[in-house]
Amino acid sequence: HKDDEVEEGWEVIAPMDAALSQKDHRIVGAVRVFISIQLIKRVASSLSNIILIVGAIGGLSLFLLLMTALRRTIENDRRLHEVETRNIDLSEQLHEAERNLMNLEKFSVLGQLTGTFAHEIGTPLNAITGHLTLLKEDVISDKPNLDSRFSILEGQVSKIAGIVKNFLQTTAQPPSELQLIDANQLIEKSLTILGPRLELLQVKVQRHLDRGLGPIRIAPLELEQVLINIINNAIDAIRMKPGQVGGILELSTGLNRRDDAEWLEIRVRDNGMGIPEKDLKKVLRPFYTTKTPAEGTGLGLSICADLLAKVDGNLSVASVENEWTLFTISIPFVHTKESDS
């Protein structure tokens, strides 16, 4: 030890002895080892500091990592929840739209059926009324006592006529107003209406619209009904095609010269389940359907064909089973000042 410093520790002094011969040993020196407790403490404390710092850094990174992972999980969960909510929302909208469409079909056909029925009854009723009046004139002059009988008959017949007339007035669909409209715009509108359904069933829409088309004169609500019916069928066909998720819906418009006249053609093509050749002729008939009662009425296309016939247009269909289906709407195109300008 130096006098001024008192260091605690262990001191080991080992003598070094040299054997000169077998018997003669002599101490030649000594090895002194001093183990300082202070030094040990200093080393230990700096070691523990390093361990502490490393541990702290490690702990902090682990914490940050966990936080990030947790944040991500929470965010993903939130997004999933959002998507699910949106999905439910879309499904509800879709069901609502489908219900409306189905009701529209049913009512439209009911209107047509009852209208036809009332109309058919009206014609013989008119004949009966006429003949009754003539008969009365012939008979009454000879047998005036039959007058009251004739009054009863006339009263009853006119009652039936009143019912029929009333019926015709309530079921007759209001004459739809013809307007000059842009077919492309109407297509866009129908696509917007069916947007949720297209999105939900992952149907991609491809447009090949002739932007230079002039306006056509047609009842817009009716053409819209036709378009929605046909597009909805296309979406159904994509949905029902086995082993396929989603599909492609192609919409195109253009003018076509045929039979010495100009036609506006709207083509709706899908890559859904297609129609077997033997059924192609049946699809436009009323009540022909391959869907369950909850899914279809079999009336959509027959109504479409009727609506188009009203404007001298027509509907045609082509298909390859399991490959594609193409519906072509043709409407006579009449040049107007607007369409030429």
Identify the residue among 125, 300, 328, 330 touching ligand ADP (CB under 6 A). Answer: 300
Using CA atoms, how far residue 8 sits from 5, 14, 41, 80, 188, in Å, is 10, 19, 11, 68, 95
Q: Cα–Cα–Cα angle for 283, 292, 226, nearest 5°?
A: 45
Please, which residue, 298 or 313, has the CB nearer to ligand ADP? 298
> Residue 275 and residue 41: Cα distance in Å, rounded?
91
Q: How many residues form the binding site for ligand ADP (CB under 6 A)?
A: 22
- For the chain, give me the number of helices (H) and strands (E)? 7, 9
Query: According to the binding rule CB under 6 A, does residue 272 interact with ligand ADP?
Result: yes
- The entry of ligand ADP, Mg ion, none near residue 339 (CB within 5 to 8 angstroms by kind) is none
d(CA 237, CA 134): 60
Let me know: does 15 contact 30? Beta carbons within 8 Å. Answer: yes
Q: Tell me the two tokens of residue 299.
A: 């009336």
- Site pattern 188..227 for ligand ADP (x: CB under 6 A): ----------------------------------------
Q: Could you say which of Mg ion, ligand ADP, none residue 325 binds, taking C-beta under 5 to 8 angstroms by partner kind?
A: ligand ADP
Q: In whole angstroms, how large is the CA radius of gyration of the chain?
A: 47
Instruction: Establish if 273 lies at the interface with ligand ADP (CB under 6 A).
Output: yes
The footprint of ligand ADP on residues 224-253 (CB under 6 A) is 229, 233-234, 237
| Length in residues, the chain | 341
Of the pair 72, 291, the CB lying nearest Mg ion is at 291
Footprint of Mg ion (CB under 5 A): 233, 300
> Which residue among 171, 297, 330, 339 contacts ligand ADP (CB under 6 A)?
297
In three-state secondary structure terms, 317 is strand
Given the complex with ligand ADP, which of 176 and 322 has the nearer CB atom?
322
Burial (0-12, 13-18, 19+ Cβ within 10 Å), 197: buried
Q: Which residues bind ligand ADP (CB under 6 A)?
A: 229, 233-234, 237, 270, 272-275, 283, 288-291, 296-302, 325
